[in-house]
Amino acid sequence: MAGSVTATHEVQRRRLLIAGARLGLATIAAPSIGAAFAQATLGPSIESGYAAGDAARLFYVRAGEGPLMLFLHGHPDSALLYLSQLSEFGRDHLAVAPNLRGYPPSDAHEAVEAYAMPRLLSDVHALLDHFGRERCTLVGNDWGGYVAWVFASAYPDRVERLIVLNAPHPAIHLREVSTNPAQIEASQYEREYNTAAKPYPAWYNYYRADPIKVPASREEGVAMKPPDLAANFFSGVGKPPATTSLRVNVPTLVIWGMRDPHLLPRQLDGLDAYARVLTVVRIEDAGHAPMRSHPQLVNQTIRAFMPRPK
pLDDT at residue number 309:
66
Q: Which residues in 96-127 are b (16+ Cβ under 10 Å) and which e?
A: bbbbbbbbebbbbeeeeebbbbbbbbbbbbbb
CATH number of 9-25+45-305: 3.40.50.1820
pLDDT at residue number 18:
26
pLDDT at residue number 38:
52
User: Which of 45-49, 128-132, 147-151 shows the lowest per-residue confidence on average (mean pLDDT)?
Assistant: 45-49
pLDDT at residue number 264:
81
pLDDT at residue number 44:
58
The residue-averaged pLDDT of 142-149 equals 97
Count helices and strands (H / E) in the chain: 12, 9
Q: Is the pLDDT of residue 229 over 50?
A: yes
The residue-averaged pLDDT of 193-207 equals 96
Q: For the segment 248-275, what is each residue's pLDDT rounded down to a tens digit?
A: 999 999 999 999 999 887 887 888 899 9
Report yes or no: 111 and 204 within 8 Å, Cβ to Cβ: no
Q: For the segment 108-127, what is each residue's pLDDT rounded down to a tens digit?
A: 999 999 999 999 999 999 99
Q: Considering the chain, what is the average pLDDT of its residues?
A: 87
Q: Is the pLDDT of residue 292 over 90?
A: yes
Report yes or no: 159 and 129 within 8 Å, Cβ to Cβ: no
52: helix, strand or coil: strand
pLDDT at residue number 20:
28
CA 22 – CA 142 distance, rounded (Å): 6
Domain ranges of the chain: 9-25+45-305
Q: What element of type H or E holds 293?
A: helix 290-293
Indicate the pTM of the whole model. Answer: 0.88
